[in-house]
Amino acid sequence: MHTQDDGIDENESTHTVEKLLRGEPVKPKTHEHVLKAIRVAEHEEAERQRREEAARLAEEERRREQAEQIQRFHAGDPHASYIPGVSPMLRVVGDEVQTSLGARFPVSHARLGLAFIRKVRESGLEYVRDGHTIHLGHYIIDRVEQDGTVHAGCHVVKWEEIERIASQL
């Protein structure tokens, strides 16, 4: 680190680095100012790269853990449930359908709901509950989008997920 005795002002070096990073011409007082500005810029770039790499590795780990949790849920692990950042998932366990958000309803209701959802998809029109209710256990289907995505309470279950378990119903 430079001291006041070496004639290099920290603020001036920082100002020099900022100008260099912006691509502006710089007239440093001494050769040492240029070297220091380069070292600071290199250090800042290395720090930025380290932060980006740490973020990339953390994201890879999050995705790996998420994939493991999804696999455990689909395999029936009773302790695998809500997975942050993942749309609600479905699984059939015995005579009930379970969601990754903890809801459960009878397979017999799921069969009726599936038939209704297929009719909505075929019609090309969205269904919005209007007094007529379709139950999945004690849950009510609030809305079915044209593509088959179902809204029921806090659940928004994509058609692809419904279709994934359809053969198990």
Residue ranges in the chain assigned as alpha helix (H): 10-22, 31-74, 107-123, 159-166
Q: Can you give the pLDDT at residue 3?
A: 46
pLDDT in tens, 53-93: 999 999 999 889 989 999 999 998 988 877 888 899 999 99
Specify whether the CB–CB gap between 13 and 31 falls below 8 A: no
Domain ranges, residue 132 = 87-166
pTM of structure = 0.66
101 falls within a domain: yes
> Does the structure show a pLDDT above 70 at 13?
no
Phi, psi at residue 16, to the nearest 5°? -65, -45
> Residue 80 domain-assigned?
no
Is there a single domain that holds both residue 67 and residue 91? no
Domain boundary among 26, 41, 72: 72
Q: Are residues 94 and 146 in the same domain?
A: yes
* Largest distance between two CA atoms of the chain: 85
Number of domains in the chain: 2
> Can you give the pLDDT at residue 2?
45
What digits encode the pLDDT tens for the residues 111-148?
999 999 999 999 999 999 988 889 999 999 999 999 99
In a domain, 77, yes or no: no
If asked whether residues 46 and 101 sit together in one domain, one would say no
The region of weakest confidence among 22-31, 51-60, 71-80, 93-102 is 22-31
Q: Do residues 160 and 91 share a domain?
A: yes
Last residue of a domain, one of 27, 43, 72: 72
**Better-predicted residue by pLDDT, 27 or 64:** 64
Residues 68 and 91 in one domain: no
Residue 20 belongs to a domain? yes
Which pLDDT does position 8 carry in this prediction? 52
**pLDDT reading at 1 higher than 70:** no
Is 99's pLDDT higher than 70?
yes
